[in-house]
Amino acid sequence: MTGARVILVAAFDRRYHRSGLALAAALESLGCEVRRCEERERGWRAWLHRPSSLAGRLSAELKRAPADLVLVFKGALLAPAVIADLKRRTKARWANWFPDDPHDLETSSRLARAYDCFFTHDSSSLDRHRSAGTRAYYLAFGCDPEFLRPFEVPRAPLVFVGTRDPDRERVLSALNDLGLVARGPGWPGGPVYGEAFVRALAGATVGVNVHQRFGTGDAARYGSGANMRVFELAAVGTPQLSDAKGDIPRHFTPDKEIVLYRSAAELRECAQALLGDEALCRSLAKAARERALREHTWAQRLRELLSVALP
């Protein structure tokens, strides 16, 4: 693992796509030599409308120096035929960590078999991938403790940070009279990025999490995987109230490190109880942050990934 030469394909942007930067830093902390391949064209080429293709940039990177592993974070722009062609040019292993299961199973199912290893944060998607012949593994999201840290800021009673959609709007309406503040694309307060994002998470007496498709009755698309917010709120040290995704108890103990709800009515009931129990909120926040820093950093996730991808 130490000294492994890794080409990381991801989006690298301090404002919008910090996960790519966090993954690169985590790999470097494990002793890997990391070369970044930008998933999207940026800079002067994009400004001049002369973009190169992702396949072209990756091909050039492979020619520049040998690699032991090509790690692609999502990579929807890399068609299986392109991956097959690039694999013939290198002895590197290829791995994909796909962040959008089960909401975009069409894309992940199309891509997965092209890789030597395929990682999904949603355990309910594993059977589908494996039955199609994919070497699929479960790997939960993580957190970046250098970026996600507690802030002393004025607190709102309840804060939700995430994209607005009709399902979330319907669920969160149960909290409108309890002091809910919603931030993110589509909400009146707008999106928050960078330090403002961390301050928004930290500025909650209780952080509310609503996974995509919660309450729709579409179990296949709802899935079981914990989203990034589960780990981000924990790392920031904000007590969390989340819908009861099936994989969450693998990582946080319900009622000790996180509180889970299964309906909008239960969400409201739990929110009222937490807002009235300051000691419980402090206990939840402390325990969840300690667990996140101990077990759920990006470096810990990538150590696990490398042990599979580079046996």
The percent of residues in the chain predicted with pLDDT above 70, rounded, is: 95
What is the dihedral angle through the alpha carbons of 221, 225, 230, 231, rounded to the nearest 10 degrees?
Answer: -140
Confidence band of 257 (pLDDT split at 50, 70, 90): very high
Q: What is the mean pLDDT of residues 1-17?
A: 86
Strands 156-161 and 136-138: unpaired
CA-nearest of 272, 53, 304 to 174 is 272
State the fold for domain 156-295.
Rossmann fold (3.40.50)
Structural contact between residues 260 and 240, judged by C-beta atoms closer than 8 angstroms = no
For residue 25, with 0-12 CB atoms within 10 Å meaning exposed, 13-18 middle and 19 or more buried, which class applies? middle
Q: Two tokens at 243?
A: 């819908």
Distance CA 303, CA 307 (A): 6
pLDDT digits (tens, 9 = 90+) for 105-115: 999 999 999 99
Q: How far is CA 293 from the centre of its chain?
A: 16
pLDDT digits (tens, 9 = 90+) for 23-51: 999 999 999 999 999 987 655 444 444 45
pTM of the model: 0.94
Strands of the 69-73 sheet, one edge to the other: 33-38, 5-10, 69-73, 93-98, 117-120, 136-138
Residue 41 is predicted with a pLDDT of: 66
Q: What is the mean pLDDT of residues 83-96?
A: 96
Q: How far is CA 218 from CA 222, 266, 291, in A?
A: 6, 19, 31
pLDDT digits (tens, 9 = 90+) for 121-180: 999 999 999 999 999 999 999 999 999 999 999 999 999 999 999 999 999 999 999 999
Task: Report helix angle 228-236 to 194-202, nearest 10.
Answer: 70
pLDDT digits (tens, 9 = 90+) for 266-284: 999 999 999 999 999 999 9
CATH architecture of 5-142+297-309: 3-Layer(aba) Sandwich (3.40)
Residues of the chain with CATH 3.40.50.2000: 5-142+297-309, 156-295
pLDDT digits (tens, 9 = 90+) for 44-83: 444 444 457 899 999 999 999 999 999 999 999 999 999 9
Distance CA 174, CA 265 (A): 7
Which three-class secondary structure state does DSSP give residue 260? strand
Count the neighbouring beta carbons within 10 Å of the beta carbon of residue 284: 25
